[in-house]
Structure 1
Amino acid sequence: MKSKFVPLSKPLTFIESMECLPVTVVPEGATWTYEIKLDGFRLEVVRDGAETTLYSRNANILNDRFPYIAKALSGIPGGTILDGELVALGPDGRPSFNLLQNFRSAESQIIYYAFDILAYKNRDLTQFPLSERRGILASVVERQEHIDLSAVSQMSAKEMLAFVREQGLEGVVAKRSDSIYQPGQRTGAWSKHRINLGQEFVIGGYVPSNLGLDSIIIGFYRGKDLIYASRVRAGFVPATRRKVFEQIKHLTTPKCPFANLPEAASGRWGQGLTAEKMKECVWLKPEAVAQIEFLEWTGADHLRHTKFVALRDDKDPRKVVKET
């Protein structure tokens, strides 16, 4: 039996994104479905009357950055809200987060992959099961130059993992086909498993240099505490050192934001931040987020062989947690 349409109880507006729970094992079973984890920006599209508004995960309006996405979706019915991922495809056809950062020169390579529909013609769909929402989504969104649907795989979890590894993709998203849409929640009805090691981290400080900064000091939240994870020096060139410094220097604060510092020793891999090493650091309010790649986690919750990828302005720092 299909679910009944229910009118929205409040005016059409941004709905906080449902979150994926990081997992080390991809869940299996008849109710689970799989999508490729796309390396891009979460983007919510609100079509209110004749206006199309693009919202980041933090409810920032992105129409000025991606006007062609708003224009491409101007034909969907009023009273509709879509959830999806904005992705830039590199020459090899794989998502490239770095390319997405250069959105002004990468317009032809940027695609919005819609994967959910939360409202349709001013009717609330969040209580519909995902399988029904996907059916409605497919009837609403027309594939075109900058617009596509996120493909739902019919593979098993094992086959999906093998495909993602073979193609060098970021990971797998698993969703229960009977799940309702729970705004702002991370219940496990949606989960994500990364193949490559990399995630977002909060920047809590930096080590200065004549180029602005030499390295950034990063961490993640565990409950209310910001936990130090690493210093990151690789991945920067002189231009990015200056650019990142200009974007974070206004966050300077006299207080160290990390709950687990100072550490007693540098440790085997030299990532420990002792009281002596902390004298070199400039501390920041934990409001900036960076995408970081790394080799592995150590037993002390530190990272080995880190590399800076990019700053992210679409992530809420308070929701940055350890994902692996």
Structure 2
Amino acid sequence: MAPLPRLAPMLATPGSLPPSRSEHLWSAETKYDGQRALIYLPGDHTLLIRSRSGDDITAAYPELHALADTLGGVPRVFDGEIVVLDEAGRPDFERLQPRMGLAGSPAKAARLAARAPVHLILFDVLFSAGQDLTGLPYVRRREVLEQLVDAAPTWSVPGAVAGHSRETLEFAREHGLEGIVLKRLDSVYEPGRRSPNWVKIRNVRTLGVVIGGWLPGHGRLTGLPGAVLAGQYEDGVLAYRGSVGTGWNERERADLAHLLGIAAMDECPFTPVPAVPGARWVLPRLVAEVRYTALTRAGLLRHPVWHRLRPDLAPDG
């Protein structure tokens, strides 16, 4: 039996919704917050799961081995995302994190699988029964995928809607999902490439925060803030929400450095004190807006990006 081709996953480019006149050229799928994986089924009822970096992570997810019994009689390669679902059926990255990195600890992986089982989202098929499918258009690969895979408790094929990207993005927003991925109906699969033919659009929220500290930058950012430490007032105390280190231009970073220098103090304004080595504290008087995708269960911002300083607003403390 010929070996399966070793492939790298195709990656999406961050972007925005297409113009209405070209919306019919795109299909929209839900964006899943999980671990990207390529699934190799050699045809002998075994499977190999590789991460985006190419590492063998098969042993970390024993509950997915059943896929080899169902689809493993014919050589195939699938692309997908490994997630852990919450009670509402939404991907919860926090619940997935303890499952990641356990390829070398199969006993621990098995114990965690019983408490927080993963679900595999299969959204593409790249090789099947001796045929390389990467050169086929997306719409044809979807047809093959849907013919091959029946939904099961541990895996499924995501829905795809052509020509209605705006409605799909709004649906994702209303249901608390991370966003959508748009895929051109005529696009081929480009292994290892971040392609404009796949566009990811996150549902981004904006939050007003109070700056209570900062972390010094390094290299070309020496003497400037590498990140600010953000919080919100709860019951009169400043609760830590995490660090924000991207989204500034050079002028904004320099202006912020000046303001942080004026506000410097020795005492931490957060309660409780966050474990942030090297932090420098400031009077909690600067208010800013940051963009983020979600809050963790611990109340920390996921994927925070600086938006703007709000000198017109006062902290709520």
TM-score, L = length of structure 1: 0.61
Asked if 1 retains the 8 angstrom alpha-carbon contact of 2:43 and 2:76, the reply is no
Shift of 1:146: 0.2
Pairing partner for 2:227 from 225, 230, 252: 230
Match of 1:132 in 2: 140
| Cα 1:217–1:141 shift into 2, 3 Å | farther
- 1:81 equivalent to 2:77? Answer yes
Provide the C-alpha distance between the structure 1 equivalents of 2:29 and 2:229, rounded to a whole number of angstroms: 31
How many residues are treated as equivalent by the alignment?
228
Provide the C-alpha distance between the structure 2 equivalents of 1:137 and 1:83, rounded to a whole number of angstroms: 10
Match of 1:293 in 2: 302
Give the 5 Å matches for 1:171-190: 171-190=179-198
Provide the C-alpha distance between the structure 2 equivalents of 1:231 and 1:85, rounded to a whole number of angstroms: 32
Q: State the identity %.
A: 27
Asked if 2 retains the 8 angstrom alpha-carbon contact of 1:40 and 1:87, the reply is yes
Secondary structure of 1:189's match? strand
Secondary structure of 1:99's match? helix
Provide the C-alpha distance between the structure 1 equivalents of 2:175 and 2:259, rounded to a whole number of angstroms: 31
Give the 5 Å matches for 1:134-149: 134-149=142-157
Match of 1:69 in 2: 64
Provide the C-alpha distance between the structure 1 equivalents of 2:28 and 2:259, rounded to a whole number of angstroms: 37
Shift of 1:25: 3.4
Provide the C-alpha distance between the structure 2 equivalents of 1:176 and 1:229, rounded to a whole number of angstroms: 38
Shift of 1:144: 1.1
Give the 5 Å matches for 1:151-170: 151-154=159-162, 156-170=164-178
Asked if 2 retains the 8 angstrom alpha-carbon contact of 1:115 and 1:149, the reply is yes
Match of 2:35 in 1: 41
| Cα 1:268–1:299 shift into 2, 3 Å | farther
Shift of 1:164: 1.2
Please, which runs of 5 or more residues in structure 1 have no aligned partner? 1-7, 199-213, 220-227, 235-259, 272-278, 282-290, 301-324
Secondary structure of 1:137's match? helix
Provide the C-alpha distance between the structure 1 equivalents of 2:152 and 2:216, rounded to a whole number of angstroms: 42
Asked if 2 retains the 8 angstrom alpha-carbon contact of 1:36 and 1:172, the reply is yes
- 1:12 equivalent to 2:4? Answer yes
The residue identity in structure 1 corresponding to 2:182 is A
TM-score, L = length of structure 2: 0.62
Return structure 1 stretches of 4+ with deviation > 4 angstroms.
105-109, 214-219, 231-234, 263-266, 268-271
| Cα 1:269–1:162 shift into 2, 3 Å | farther
The residue identity in structure 2 corresponding to 1:126 is T
| Cα 1:181–1:216 shift into 2, 3 Å | farther
Shift of 1:43: 1.1
Shift of 1:168: 1.3
- 1:22 equivalent to 2:14? Answer yes
Provide the C-alpha distance between the structure 1 equivalents of 2:88 and 2:163, rounded to a whole number of angstroms: 23
Provide the C-alpha distance between the structure 1 equivalents of 2:216 and 2:74, rounded to a whole number of angstroms: 45
Shift of 1:49: 3.0
Asked if 1 retains the 8 angstrom alpha-carbon contact of 2:184 and 2:197, the reply is yes
Match of 1:119 in 2: 127
CA RMSD of aligned residues (A): 3.6
Shift of 1:138: 1.2
Tell which structure's C-alpha radius of gyration is larger. 2
Provide the C-alpha distance between the structure 2 equivalents of 1:83 and 1:195, rounded to a whole number of angstroms: 23
The structure whose residues are more often helix, as a share, is 2
Please, which runs of 5 or more residues in structure 2 have no aligned partner? 100-111, 207-212, 219-224, 232-249, 262-276, 280-299, 310-317
Pairing partner for 2:87 from 86, 91, 104: 91
Secondary structure of 1:70's match? helix
Secondary structure of 2:23's match? coil
Asked if 2 retains the 8 angstrom alpha-carbon contact of 1:45 and 1:83, the reply is yes
Secondary structure of 1:153's match? strand
